[in-house]
Amino acid sequence: MADDANDEFIAGSDLEEENLPERKVLGELEHRPRLRDEDARPDRPPDDDDDFLAAVDEEDPLDYYNAYENGRLREWEARRPIWAREGYPGPRDYDATVFKNILENETLQKYVKEVQVYTCETHCDHHPKRAFELYGDGWPPPMHSPVYYECIGQLGEIPNLHSVNVHFDRHVGDDGDVFQQGEFQEEFHEDLLPKILHSLNSATNDIAFRNYHSIPREYELPELLDKVAKATSLRLSVAHEETHPGAGSTYRVGNIHPFWETFPARFLQPASSTLKTLVLYSDLPLGWFPKLDLRDVHLPHLASLTLTTSSTRTFR
């Protein structure tokens, strides 16, 4: 047995190191260190767990060990912090408090160059039909924790931050089963987006929005267009409204035609002298209907261009 407490095998079990099959990893015997977190991981699997007992082969020590690990994992999953939100849906893989710890550490700050701001679950696909299955009254409204707001206000403290990517849910519409209804992004532009823009420093020149909704022009911030005008990279995927849950995007509702008719003058022409990378996705085909005329757009420094129709792809 190793002297280091972190290399001990499971306390209280009959599993001995010499009984484990030897597996070579990079020429050395593989050991699984024990994580000493008694609150999150019990010393032994629960005796009354029928699934655990059914899965264990008492004659196979390795099988017992794997079943034990699965039991600890289930116990740990139940204690994972909910990221930036109060209540389901998550995202559960992120903890705003952890990010805040990085923001408040001068040593770690300088290594952060890109920040992803999620306003929804990380898969960005709260499908309206799933709302009916999980919640009879539709998706719960998105609610961000105070720590989430604090982190956004501190983004400007990151000295080498050059890229910010804001993620929205890809479904939008007025139906109650849509997770982020049309007014959500309008409210985001009035509340959270100004905090993001005001906190960014001059080094931030890569701006990206995933599932940016074609909101009316009166809700767009002058600060956003000013920041885009100074960007060297603009990555934008646009999501359009659905007429009813699960129907998919449509040309018939929302602000789709005014949005695209004025898009070049608002987003591209002001950045003509700085833009080097342009990525533009839309979940509906563009060009003649709705009209997207790029003939007056001249980007002399452009080195990379991506124009495509896509509703689910994640861009980086």
Strands annotated E in the chain: 24-25, 28-29, 114-118, 163-167, 206-213, 233-239, 277-282, 304-309
Residue spans per domain, the chain: 5-77, 96-309
DSSP-derived secondary structure for 274-310: T--EEEEEESS--BBTTB---TT---TT--EEEEEE-
Report the distance separating Cα 60 and Cα 303, nearest Å.
59
| pLDDT at 49 (0 to 100) | 45
Question: Hey, what are 281's tokens?
Answer: 């996705």
Q: Which amino acid belongs to residue 267?
A: F
CA-CA distances (angstroms) from residue 128 to 82, 86, 97, 112, 170? 22, 20, 30, 35, 11
Chain centre distance of CA 262: 29
C-alpha 250/C-alpha 31 separation (Å) is: 55
How far is Cα 105 from Cα 87, in angstroms, rounded to an integer?
A: 29
Q: Mind listing the pLDDT tens digit of every residue in the chain (316 residues)? A: 444 444 433 333 344 444 444 433 333 333 333 333 333 333 333 444 444 445 555 566 566 656 666 665 555 444 434 433 344 444 445 567 888 888 899 899 989 999 988 888 778 888 887 777 777 777 777 777 788 888 888 888 898 999 999 998 888 877 777 788 767 877 887 888 888 888 787 788 999 999 888 877 776 777 788 888 889 999 999 988 876 656 666 666 667 888 888 899 989 999 999 999 999 998 888 877 788 888 999 999 999 999 888 655 555 5
pLDDT for 176: 72
Of 201, 125, 124, the closest CA to residue 166 belongs to: 124
pTM: 0.66
